Structure 1
């Protein structure tokens, strides 16, 4: 539940950051369907600090997917699922930006950077978070499946007691 709530909170922040109109950028905004084009533009036209903000911000925007999704998706092919789900969401966000939001446009480099951020976060920390969470869940399920004497039903305890009494006689 905490991971799901975190994902919902992140979705709200993501919507606020990406779907807010930017009238000042209306003249500058243009779609980019060529991978690497925006990155070259950052390197050539931006200051080093501005380029780092653009690239770093896009990497950070995808990172929560790499941390939260490992808890929500099944263990099998988890990294592939994290990457594909992030890619799908980011393509949808970029499409919404390009179609609906003034001063914003679709940029394939943003999708690549966001997805890379999710992958990096998954590799650095998300994988361990997912493993630990699922291991705790399996351990809890195992302990519920194997009743101890303290958790066995009273009738089973009575049968054991009756058997012990018969053996003692």
Structure 2
């Protein structure tokens, strides 16, 4: 129980630190680009612009930076998301969080705009982080904490089987009785 609490505290502090960094990177005004930025609601438009208008290094910096911003979500969120459908829930939580960040950027921050491609790249980064490392470390964490005596599904006793499955002879007898009952139901009643 102590290990579980310590790990969750460290992960929560990591998520808070990442959130502060994310806010600093994404919510800082950029007055120099105020006249240049426009909102993008069409997926792929910004990526094409990176490829056409930027140098290779600039395009890699833009796209790669957005991918890297999502990776911590894929590493940290699996610790807080239930096991069932963990990848889907992590992906959806990341997409919602990044969409909110982009909306705040577009509405409140000078020189910044909403860009759907940023949301897509951030979410792809979260998936990348999840598949590269997040899935494994969260799985090991849960296996370790469940095995160390923490109450959970593996600590409960298995339910006893109420009745053993019938063997072949019992099935044949049951089938014959069912056929006999059907045959009698179709015959007229005696006078």
Question: How many residues matched?
Answer: 146
The structure 1 segments of at least 4 consecutive aligned residues displaced by more than 3 Å after TM superposition are none
The structure with the largest alpha-carbon Rg is 2
1:113-146 deviations in whole A, cap 9, x for unaligned? 0000000110111100110111111112359x69
Cα drift, residue 72 of structure 1: 1.5
Does 1:124 pair with 2:146? no
Name the TM-score, length of structure 1 as normaliser. Answer: 0.83
Which residue number in structure 2 is paired with residue 110 of structure 1? 118
Q: Tell me which of 149, 167, 181 is aligned to 1:141.
A: 149
Q: What does 1:1-169 correspond to in 2, within 5 Å?
A: 1-141=9-149
Q: Which has the higher helix share?
A: 1
Which residue number in structure 2 is paired with residue 165 of structure 1? none
Task: Indicate the structure whose relative CO is greater, using CA pairs within 8 Å and at least 6 residues apart.
Answer: 1
Unaligned runs of 5+ in 1: 147-169
SS at match of 1:141: coil
Name the TM-score, length of structure 2 as normaliser. Answer: 0.74
1:22-67 deviations in whole A, cap 9, x for unaligned? 0001011110000000000000000000000001000000000000
* Residues 136 and 26 of structure 1, relative CA distance in 2, 3 Å threshold: same
RMSD: 1.6
